[in-house]
Amino acid sequence: MNGSERSRKREKIKRMPGWNVHWACVRFMQCYKIFLGNSAKLIQYSLNPPNMHYNLLPDIKTRIQKNALDCEVARLIHNYVASAKTLVDVSRRYSRKYLNPDLKAKYDKKVSDTFAKDPCSKIVHKLRNFMLHVDMPSISSQINILTGSSSYLSLPPEKLLKWNGWNNIEKEHLETLSSKNETIVVHKFFQEYTNKVLIITNFLLGGIADTNKKELSEIYDLHDRILEGVKADNYITDPLFVHFFSRNEQYTEDGDIISIFQDYA
């Protein structure tokens, strides 16, 4: 296959139905990875906050360090909740557009079972509105007075409860924490939500690949034929794709092939 013929076939791929589905999956993965990156940074910072200069009576240095910590935590939480809400919106849109009716029904049930009655998930979603329209949440750090080091970060619920945007379930959860003198421990709270998102996202991406398997397989098979003459020692010249969703395969930077998603059933 000469260069002109390869170019024609590449253009043919771009006109096939699977092309738009493929790039929708890629964009969805990008959105998901943005969320995962924000999650990792927030949880890591919460588990390993910077050491604080500690005095029984706060001084200038203590105040400056505390303000810097509050600012960084607020930034990380804002990035997390914003990307979480974006992923929710994209997932909802893609499930309507790319899932067949049976998988759409299963997906909707899975989402409902996972999130509908979970106050923590609802609080994550509404924290974005709280931070945009009300205020930054208060940040509490647990400090070892002997070492000056912070062991973890948390959000006291009292300031959150001043907002009237919570529904009864969410408000009751925050009130229960407050009545027990407990706080929202940042790394535990957001990790639990991230774990739920991982399961739902895995199901949705696998379902989209399954629904559109024929269309995706057609563009990947043609892509294989185009590249037959330009592969050498696992090196591929100018591939159109590095993800193959109908095959559940993706290339690493080293040219290895790994899974994209796990079994979504």
Question: What is the domain partition of the chain in residue ranges?
Answer: 15-214
Q: Which residues contact 47 (CB under 8 A, 6 or more apart)?
A: 152, 187
pLDDT at 153: 86
Give DSSP secondary structure letters for 145-175. TTT--EEEEEE-HHHHTT-S---HHHHHHHH
**pLDDT at position 168 over 80:** yes
Q: How far apart are CA 52 and CA 73, in angstroms?
A: 14
Coil, strand, or helix at residue 87? helix
Q: List the 140-143 sheet strands across, edge first.
A: 140-143, 150-155, 184-185
In which region does residue 111 sit, left (phi positive, over 0), alpha (psi from -120 to 50) or beta (all else)?
A: alpha
Coil, strand, or helix at residue 183? coil
What are the tens digits of pLDDT across the range 21-41?
999 999 999 999 999 999 999
Q: How far apart are CA 192 and CA 121, in angstroms?
A: 9
Name the pLDDT band for 234 (thresholds 50, 70, 90).
Answer: low
Going from the C-alpha of 76 to that of each of 149, 152, 161, 245, the distances in angstroms are: 20, 15, 21, 31
Q: How far apart are CA 145 and CA 150, in angstroms?
A: 9
pLDDT at 151: 63
Pairing of strands 184-185, 231-232: unpaired
**pLDDT at position 263 over 80:** no
* Mean per-residue pLDDT of the chain: 88
**pLDDT at position 99 over 60:** yes
What are the tens digits of pLDDT across the range 37-67?
999 999 999 988 887 666 556 678 878 888 8
Q: How far apart are CA 247 and CA 138, in angstroms?
A: 47
CATH number for 15-214 (one of 1.10.3470, 1.20.950, 2.60.40, 1.20.120): it is 1.20.120
pLDDT at 36: 97
pLDDT at 180: 92
